C-alpha cells in the first residue's frame, strides 16, 4: 500500500513538472511572437497621405524636418517615421542626402 502511494506521489510530481515546462515554453513562444508582430502592427498604424522630398543642407536635423511636417502626431513619432521610411539607422544626416518625408493632411 505504501509503495503505491509513493508511486502515485512521484507520478503526480512528474506530471506537475511536465505541465509547468509546457506552460513555460508556451509563454516564451507567445512573448517571442509578440516581439515579432509588434513592429509589423505599429507600422500599419502610420497612415501617410503623401510625401515630400528634401535635400539635406548644412546644419539640418531630423528634428527640424519632423517639426515642420508633423501635423497630427508628435515630433518624436514623426522622426521615427522619417527614419523608417528612409531606412536610417542613426539620427545623423549627410549634406546632399535626399530624404522622403511623410506628410499627413492637417
**Which DSSP string do the residues of 67-89 spell out, in sequence order?**
HHH-SSS-HHHHHHHHHHHTT-S
Q: What is the mean pLDDT of residues 46-62?
A: 87
| pLDDT for 60 | 96
Q: What is the mean pLDDT of residues 46-64?
A: 88
Residues with Cβ within 8 Å of 69's Cβ and at least 6 positions away in sequence, in order, are 52, 78, 101, 102, 103
| pLDDT for 46 | 56
Q: Considering only CA atoms, which of 102, 63, 105, 98 is closest in space to residue 82?
A: 102
pTM for the full predicted model: 0.55
**Which DSSP string do the residues of 10-23 spell out, in sequence order?**
HHHHHHHHHHHHHH
CA distance 66 to 47: 15
Amino acid at each position: 500500500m505504501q509503495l503505491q502511494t509513493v508511486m502515485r506521489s512521484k507520478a503526480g510530481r512528474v506530471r506537475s513538472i511536465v505541465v509547468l515546462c509546457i506552460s513555460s515554453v508556451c509563454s516564451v513562444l507567445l512573448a517571442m511572437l509578440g516581439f515579432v508582430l509588434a513592429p509589423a502592427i505599429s507600422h500599419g498604424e502610420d497612415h501617410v497621405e503623401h510625401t515630400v522630398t528634401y535635400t539635406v543642407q548644412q546644419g539640418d536635423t531630423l528634428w527640424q524636418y519632423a517639426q515642420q511636417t508633423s501635423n497630427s502626431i508628435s515630433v518624436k513619432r514623426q522622426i521615427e517615421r522619417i527614419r523608417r521610411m528612409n531606412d536610417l539607422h542613426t539620427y545623423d544626416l549627410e549634406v546632399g542626402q535626399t530624404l522622403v518625408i511623410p506628410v499627413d493632411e492637417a
